[in-house]
Homo-oligomer: A and B are copies of this chain.
Amino acid sequence: MATRVTMTDIARAAGVSLMTVSRVVNNKDDVSKGTRLRVQEVIDSLGYRPSGIARGLVTQHTSTLGLVVPDIDNPFFSGVVRGAENTAYAEGYSVFLGNTNEDPERELALLRSLDEKLVDGAILCSSRLDDESLVREISRFPTAVLISRQVHNDGTGVLVIDDEAGGRLATEHLLGSGHCRIGIISGPPISFSSQHRLAGYRAALQAAGLPINPAWVRHCKPVVENGYQAAVELLRDCPELTALVCHNDMVAFGALQACAELGRSVPQDVAVVGYDDVPMAALVSPPLTTIKVSPHAIGSQAMRMLLERIHEGGSAHARFVMPVEIVIRESAP
């Protein structure tokens, strides 16, 4: 490829100074109509495009944002990405996407690289970092928004899903259907959403005057395969269970698979509740009862918070709690 056309090239070709070109490129108004037209013509005919990095070097902002998610294969997170990218695009920002694969090392490396790219801000989804590393890294960004993770740091916005309510709702629904031996396949213990959903589960049981049996609680990586594995083990070790609350829909899909293979029919033998209401939840067999949260809404709300903070500084919304609801389908009627 040939070398890039620069502003100097345009200035020379149009017979004006660099500054004049800069002004028309940036739509400043101190340029006469005639000059502007002439310069614009040269720009178009030479196919000039401004260099974002040269511009960024002087302005100290890049119109560039970071978005870090744990698992883009999970429709929930790809939905968040979609929502976030969509509103970023509408505001003229580009977004770097990083997939941590649930690996804190990689998350750290990703954040470091975003920092070196001089992003104007970053959204971190379900960070798996310990508090200290997290605060250290995000405080390097001009501003940041955390999804499903809290931390004390000025300049950081927080968007949380009402996970305790979600865990409670799921459990209460099962309780209401007469179940009293309810197991839970929880996510990684380090994940805050896991902790909160689990807390909701416990709260609902306690409120119903039921004991909490630690053997009925299992943790797994929130992907289909691990959900399947965990369900197989849990149902084998605790055959008395008649219902399963799952950390998310992926885990629930795994659990559904496990039940099918173990010959336990759903919902007759085991009722299953998921979390997230991913598009496929309505399409599996049986259709999944689940806690509904809109990933698009979360992504775009988080992005709105981020942009607000970038533009308005400290005055912006610091915390947003995303409500959840239960969608009742056949896996737990």
Interface size for A (C-beta < 8 A) is: 57
Shortest distance between the CB of A73 and any CB in chain B (Å): 5
Contact status A72-B78, CB under 8 Å: yes
Cβ-neighbour of A85 out of B49, B98, B114 (below 8 A): B98
Chain B residues in 8 Å Cβ range of A101: 86
User: Does chain B have a CB within 8 A of A113?
Assistant: yes
Q: Does A44 contact B (CB under 8 A)?
A: no
- A155 an interface residue at 8 Å Cβ cutoff? yes
Asked if A116 and B283 sit within 8 Å, CB to CB, the answer is no
For the complex, is A183 an interface residue (Cβ under 8 Å from B)?
A: no
- Min C-beta distance of A52 to chain B, whole Å: 5
When all copies of this chain in the complex are counted, the total is 2
- The answer to whether B139 and A49 have CB atoms under 8 Å apart is no
Q: Which of B99, B112, B284 contacts A82 (CB 8 A)?
A: B99
Say if the beta carbon of A50 comes within 8 Å of chain B. Answer: yes
- Interface membership of A279, Cβ < 8 A: yes
Q: Are B72 and A89 in contact (CB under 8 A)?
A: no
User: Scoring A residues 279 to 315 as 1 if CB is less than 8 Å from chain B, else 0, what string do you get?
Assistant: 1100111100000000000000000000000000000
**Is B85 within 8 A of A116, CB to CB?**
no
**A207 interfacial by beta-carbon distance below 8 Å:** no
Point out the residue from B53, B86, B94, B224 that lies within 8 Å of A56, measured CB to CB: B53
User: Which residue of chain B has the shortest Cβ distance to A79 in the bound complex?
Assistant: B73
Q: In the complex, what's the smallest C-beta–C-beta distance from A145 to chain B, in angstroms? A: 15
Q: How far is the CB of A51 from chain B (nearest CB, A)?
A: 6
Whether A78 lies near B73 (C-beta < 8 A) is yes
Contact check, B280 vs A52: say whether CB atoms are below 8 A apart: no
CA distance A225 to B273 in the complex (A): 24
Which of chain B's residues have a CB closer than 8 A to the CB of A95? 96-97
Interface presence of A115 (CB below 8 A):
yes
B-side contacts of A98, CB under 8 Å: 85, 89, 94
A157 CB, nearest partner CB in chain B, Å: 14
Residues of A within 8 A of B (CB): 1, 47, 49-54, 56-57, 62, 64, 67, 72-73, 75, 78-79, 81-82, 85-86, 89, 92, 94-99, 101, 106, 109-110, 112-118, 139-143, 155, 224, 253, 256-257, 279-280, 283-286
Additional A-B contact list (4), CB under 8 Å, known A1-B141, A53-B118, A89-B109: A1-B143, A72-B81, A89-B98, A96-B96
